[in-house]
Amino acid sequence: MRYFLSDLFIPLYDHLQYQMIHKEPVQACSVLLLESAADFDPGFLCIGSPGICREVLSQQRTGTLLLAAEPGQEDALVQSAVCVPEEMNFLCTSLPAPALCNLLNRFFSGQYGMVSALQNSAPYTLHQLVKNAHELSGCSIVLLDEKLRFLYDKVTHKDSRLIGSLLLDSSENPAPVSLLLRQKKDLREPVFFEEEGSLFLLIPFQKSAGYLLFSTTEKERFYTAFAFSLAELCEPLLLNQKRVFPAKDMSFQLLFSRILAESSETDETCILMLHNLPNPPKKNMRLVLVRSEQLPSGEEDPSLLHLLEPLKEFFPETNLAVMGDEIVILLSSEIHYCPLEFSTEAFEGLLARHHAAAMIGNPFTSITALRVMYRQCHRMFPIAMAVRLDGEVRCMNFARYTQYNVIDICARSIKSILGGSDIVILCHPGVLTLTRYDRAYGTNLRDVMFHYLMNDRSITRTSAKMFMHRNTTIYKVKKIEELIGESMDDPYLRHNLIFSCLLLRYRELYQKEGISLSVFENPGGRARQRKKAPKEE
């Protein structure tokens, strides 16, 4: 088993008197209690009495030796430590030899158990392996390529900020890990270091370009032996993934098509393909879908080529793909919420000039999430175009239309679940009453209620939004509560009413269907006399 001797500081914390570490990491298969100096073996952690240790130190040049001292032998500790060879690791403890041997055996038994559990979790993919290792150890694990870009990771919440700061270069200074690699130039051996109270182990892969970063903020839960075993398990999987595709000549257009087609490549392979693109994405990604509302005059080919050139002003050309009737753009960031790094105002102007619209998806980090996000945005695009309010921006955010996504899913599954095909049955009855009342009397109570609720029941803001006098708004709110039969003080009712308004808007503007006749209308469909409608102030 391979590990750093710092692992031993955990069980030996109260007993360690002196240490002289010359060579790490250590390769040792077990603990050996020496009966004589002749029993010493560099392949073990050897434990001996002061007399045996002095004899070993005078004869051996390499290995790891632990001195087990009896009470009153402190002078022997000092005398033994003076003659430690430069290639020898030497630790002095205040424990008797049997107690020290038992303590270390229990410690390594736990380490072997974790490694065995990880090995027995096969078959696995890289993603599953990193996840299993994180669950077994409680430590943060990051797989990096040769340029310190994220491949896979499972990071605890406490470690997330620090790991990002270690790996990301700022405009003023290189990241600490980047600086470390520059100083060592040819990093072939693992590096153990501490930063802001957290322990880190950076292990370079031996047969492939990349690194395993293993870290924790809890020093008593840092297992370097487990980290080395994980690196050995990761490397062949990483090599197998890299063999199945060419490292170059893969365009985003082709790769995106293969991802959507869910071809024979695994998600792990697709992640590696993404990192081999000419302009590889960072850890956190977004998709932007762009569609044309109308083609330039005289153009018949809906290929969107007239949009590609202006879009290159905002996005790298290598991250654009034309997919049917839309252009797909891949954005990325090291920040978890993947902020937009272009001027939304300027982008809005471009869309207006070219009679186009855009849908910005939510952030994601995996290939599965990429597929799901694209399909949701693709499905939501025409719905958002139909239901958006007059004057709303052309650059639409998927998060803004999340509830319409839920409504669309309901509309597609309602028949199989509830036995009916009309999503109106999901509406609050009060909103249906307002809709029928508006149709019968030519009022706008449903719109007033929607904007009243969306403006936190502010009479002033609602009046400004609806271009109404304050007294008119107050009168209509009272009328609304009278018709729905409930007070809008209840927050659950308010949420239900807003959702019902969105649902009817989906039905009327996207499905282009109305609702049935009401008690306010004649059987022939004509509204009763408008003069019977309540008089507004």
CA pair distance 98, 70, nearest whole angstrom? 11
Tell me the Ramachandran region of residue 220: left when phi exceeds 0, alpha when psi lies from -120 to 50, beta otherwise: alpha
Q: How far are the Cα atoms of 108, 335, 520 from residue 438, in angstroms, in the given order?
A: 76, 47, 9
Both 342 and 286 in a single domain?
A: yes
Does 399 lie in the same domain as 258?
yes
Q: Are residues 391 and 265 in the same domain?
A: yes
The confidence score (pLDDT) of residue 219 equals: 65
Evaluate whether residue 417 is within a structural domain.
no
Beta partners for 143?
152, 212
Which one, of 498, 517, 508, lies nearest residue 456 by Cα? 498
CATH number at residue 164: 3.30.450.190
- Residue pair 212/234 in contact (Cβ under 8 Å)? The answer is yes
What domain count does the chain have?
A: 4
Q: What is the pLDDT along the chain (537 residues), one digit of tens a residue?
A: 676 777 777 778 788 887 888 877 787 778 899 999 999 998 888 998 888 888 898 888 888 888 887 666 655 555 544 578 888 888 888 888 888 888 888 888 877 788 888 877 655 677 788 888 888 888 888 888 777 777 778 888 777 777 777 766 555 555 667 666 666 555 667 877 777 777 788 888 877 778 888 887 766 666 788 888 888 888 887 776 654 444 455 688 888 888 887 765 677 777 777 877 888 888 899 999 999 876 444 444 455 778 888 998 899 888 998 888 889 999 999 888 999 988 989 999 999 988 899 999 999 988 889 999 999 999 999 999 999 877 778 999 999 999 999 999 998 888 778 777 788 889 999 999 999 999 889 999 999 999 999 999 999 999 999 999 999 999 999 999 999 999 899 999 999 999 999 999 999 999 888 776 454 544 444 444 444 555 544
The region, left, alpha or beta by phi > 0 then psi within -120 to 50, assigned to residue 205 is: beta
Radius of gyration of the chain (CA): 34
CA 58 – CA 46 distance, rounded (Å):
15
| Residues 24 and 87 sit within 8 Å (Cβ to Cβ) | no
45 and 157 co-located in one domain: no
pLDDT of residue 357: 92
Which residue has tokens 């690791």? 89
Cα separation, 424 vs 516, in Å, equals 10
Residue 411 lies in a domain: no
Same domain, yes or no: 332 and 474: no
Spatial neighbors of 290 by CB under 8 A, at least 6 apart, are 304, 307, 311, 326, 327, 329, 351, 356, 357, 358
Q: Which of 243, 260, 282 is the last residue of a domain?
A: 243
Shared-domain flag, residues 358 and 472: no
> How high is the pLDDT of residue 442?
92
Which residue do the tokens 């040792």 mark? 28
**Interatomic CA distance for residues 26 and 64, integer angstroms:** 8
145 occurs within a structural domain: yes
Say whether both 272 and 228 belong to one domain: no
> 266 with 401, same domain?
yes
Burial of 292: CB neighbours in 10 Å, binned 0-12, 13-18, 19+: buried
Nearest to 372 by CA among 381, 362, 382: 362
Pairing assessment for the beta strands 150-154 and 2-3 based on DSSP bridges:
unpaired
Out of 115, 139, 156, a domain closes at 115
Sheet of 211-216: strand order equals 150-154, 140-144, 211-216, 198-204, 191-195
Asked whether the whole model's pTM tops 0.75, one would answer no
The answer to whether position 330 is within a domain reads: yes
CB-based contacts of 5: which residues, under 8 Å, 6+ apart? 19, 21, 24, 26, 64, 89, 91
Query: Do 383 and 260 fall within a single domain?
Result: yes
Alpha helices in 189-266 (DSSP H): 224-243, 252-261
Residue 62 belongs to domain with CATH number? 3.40.1390
pLDDT of res. 169: 58
- Which CATH number characterizes residue 344's domain? 3.30.70
329 φ/ψ angles, rounded to the nearest 5 degrees: -120, 135
Spell out the alpha helix ranges (H) of 120-223. 126-137, 157-167, 176-184
Residue 508's domain is classified under what CATH number? 1.10.10
| Residue 204: inside a domain | yes
Longest dimension (CA), the chain: 113
Residue 537 lies in a domain: no
List the strands of the sheet with 31-33, edge to edge: 16-20, 88-93, 63-68, 45-48, 31-33
Looking at 243, 274, 291, which one is the last position of a domain? Answer: 243
Q: Where are the alpha helices (DSSP H) in 69-188?
A: 74-82, 97-119, 126-137, 157-167, 176-184
Are 277 and 389 in a shared domain?
yes
> Per the domain annotation, does 191 fall within a domain?
yes
94 and 194 share a domain?
no
Give the pLDDT confidence score for residue 201 in this predicted structure: 82
Residue range of the domain that includes 473:
423-532
Give bridge partners of residue 333 from the DSSP assignment: 284
Shared domain check, 90 and 51: yes
Q: With both helix axes pointing from N to C terminus, report the angle between 267-275 and 252-261 in degrees, rounded to the nearest 10.
A: 170
SS3 321: strand
In this predicted structure, what is the pLDDT of residue 220? 61
Cα separation, 482 vs 129, in Å, equals 60
* 412 in any annotated domain: no
